[in-house]
Amino acid sequence: MDESGRLSMEPEIPIESFKIFATGLDHPECLAFDRQGFLWAGGEAGQIYRIDPEGKLTTVANLGAFCGGLAFSLLDVLFVCCPALGVVKVDGSGEVSVFATHAGEHKMICPNYGVFDSAGNYYVTDSGNWRKNNGYLLRFTPDGKGRVIGGPFGYANGLALSVDENFLFMVESNTNRVLRFELKPDGLAGEPEVYAEECGRFPDGLTLDAEGNLYVSCYASDDIHRITPMREKTLFAWDPFAILLGSPTNMAFGGPDFDVLYVANLARTTITRVPMGRQGQLLANQRVKTKLRPRPSPI
């Protein structure tokens, strides 16, 4: 490990492989694809952008406050983590409504990132406050009822759900670690295990490819790490100039063959992308059209 917290090795792919896909965004934190292949992103001042396959921006809505994690439900409705408002829903016409400010009696401090399973359950992190170890993992059932299922953690952040939906991965940014939870039939999460350590500086976002490789984007070290299913960790990409990877926060797979990785750069005004040579793991809203059998909700 070198002084910057990166693995002491050459990146798997050169930074020149990344290209700018869209520009003119207000410091995007997160991004997510809808079923039609449009990319959505949030802005620092509350903008909700829809981006066509050519990279053209349309501002669909404005929440008036910083937008964190984006995720699409099974009905392809956009859920946005907005720390100032809670979790907010945005439909295709731009209509905005608050989905939740609490999970049961727990009032969210900093809702950060969410992911849906194939039964419509919504897992979301409440980061808490930096260095206060008051972050939590929450779960909302399709009827909107929420509960705390894990914590406290040190700044709970990005999430990724295994393809069989038996395990949930979560970034703990305070400790530069990725944790993994077994999801129980009663809807609770098992005890966290450390899946990977020393994941750059301030790991933020997670995504999985179809082969089970986990990608970790790091806000403070301008790099992306890859963790294989055997838990071997490599430096996937790094930008020493923080231009094409400038405080990368979240990632999503897309493209006609679903083999292009798109990255939000919070320190810049761009979304960049890179061809991967392997397909990403389909998310719940994207799997609906493939008619996979959904996992029943235990509640």
Cite the annotated binding site for substrate by residue number: 112
pLDDT band at residue 291 under the 50/70/90 scheme: very low
Binned at pLDDT 50, 70 and 90, residue 39 comes out as: very high
274-291 burial, b if ≥16 CB within 10 A, otherwise e? bebeeebbbbbbbbbeee
User: Considering only CA atoms, which of 221, 217, 179 is closest in space to residue 201?
Assistant: 221
For 135-157, write each residue's pLDDT tens digit. Answer: 999 999 999 999 999 999 999 99
How large is the average pLDDT for residues 268-293?
85
Looking at the chain, how many residues does it have? 299
Extract the annotated binding site for a divalent metal cation: 157, 204
Give binding residues as ranges: 112, 157, 204
Q: Which residues, including other chains, have CB under 8 Å from residue 261's CB and lie 6 or more apart?
A: 207, 215, 251, 252, 253, 273, 274, 276, 280
pLDDT-based confidence at residue 158 (cuts at 50, 70, 90): very high
Mapped onto helix, strand or coil, the DSSP state of residue 247 is coil
Q: Is the peptide bond before 294 cis (omega within 30 degrees of 0)?
A: no
Cα separation, 96 vs 90, whole angstroms = 5
Query: DSSP strand E in 117-213: where?
Result: 122-126, 135-140, 146-153, 156-161, 167-172, 177-182, 193-196, 203-208
Least confident of 24-28, 121-125, 289-293: 289-293
110-146 b/e (C-beta count within 10 Å ≥ 16 → b): bbbbbbbbbbbbbbbbbbbeeeebbbbbbbbbeeeeb
Q: In the predicted model, is pLDDT for residue 100 greater than 70?
A: yes
State the pLDDT at residue 208: 98
What integer pLDDT is reported at residue 92 of this predicted model?
Answer: 83
User: Which residues are 215's β-sheet partners?
Assistant: 207, 226
Report pLDDT digits (tens) over 80-91: 999 999 999 999
Any idea where the domains of the chain sit in the sequence? 15-290
Given a cut of 60, whether residue 292 has pLDDT beyond it is: no
The residue among 295, 252, 292 whose CA lies nearest residue 272 is 252
What is the arithmetic mean of pLDDT over 233-255? Answer: 98
Within 10 angstroms of residue 188's Cβ, the number of other Cβ atoms is 16
Q: Which amino acid is at 36?
A: Q
Q: How many Å apart are CA 159 and CA 116, to the nearest integer? A: 10
pTM above 0.75, yes or no: yes
Question: Is the confidence at residue 31, as pLDDT, over 60?
Answer: yes
Q: Residue 245: is its pLDDT beyond 70?
A: yes
The residues annotated with a catalytic role in the active site are 204
Q: What is the pLDDT confidence band of residue 179, given thresholds at 50, 70 and 90?
A: very high
**258: number of Cβ within 10 Å:** 18
The radius of gyration computed from the CA coordinates of the chain, to the nearest angstrom, equals 17
The CATH number of the structural domain formed by 15-290 is 2.120.10.30
294 or 62: which carries more pLDDT confidence? 62
Which phi and psi (to 5°) does residue 261 adopt?
-100, 125
Span 70-82, average pLDDT: 97
